[in-house]
Amino acid sequence: MDRNRDRILWTEEGSKVKPVAMKFNLLLFSTLLMPLFIGGSLFYVWSRIQVIQLGYEMSDALKKERALTEGNKKLRLEIATLKSYARIEKIAAEELGMTKPKPDQVIVIR
C-alpha cells in the first residue's frame, strides 16, 4: 500500500497545503510585482508624452527662429535702402532745397 501511496501526487493532506501556498504566492505577486509593473508602464507612457511635447516645442521654436531671421533680413534691407546715397541726395534736393556745392565751396579736412 505504501508503494501506491508514493505514486499518488495529490492527496487530501497535500490538497490543504498547496492552495494556501498558491494563495500566498499570488498575494505576494499582486502586492509586489503588479505595482512595479504598473509604475513602470506609467513611467514609460509619461516619458513618451514628454518626448512628443518637447518635439512640438522644438518645432515651434524653429518656426519662430525662421520668422525672426526673415524679419532680420527685411530690416537689414530697409536699413540699406534708407542709407543709400541716391535716396539721401534726392531728399536733400527735393524736400530740403539743398544743392550740390561748387568746387570752390568745398573744404577738404585731413
Q: Please give the C-alpha separations between residue 78 and each of 69, 70, 73, 81, 84, in angstroms, as whole numbers.
A: 14, 12, 9, 5, 10
Q: Where are the domains of the chain?
A: 2-105
What pLDDT shows up at residue 74? 98
Q: Tell me if residue 99 falls in helix, strand or coil.
A: coil
DSSP 96: S
Q: Which pLDDT score, from 0 to 100, does residue 73 have?
A: 98
Alpha helices in the chain (DSSP H): 2-7, 12-28, 34-83, 85-94
Maximum distance among all Cα pairs of the chain, rounded to whole angstroms: 142
d(CA 78, CA 55): 35
- Note the pLDDT tens digit of each residue in 77-100: 999 999 999 999 999 999 999 998
| Per-residue pLDDT at 25 exceeds 80 | no
Mean pLDDT of 42-53: 98
To 10 degrees, what angle do helices 34-83 and 85-94 make? Answer: 50
* Euclidean distance between CA atoms 37 and 44, whole angstroms: 11
Gap between the Cα atoms of 23 and 29, Å rounded: 10
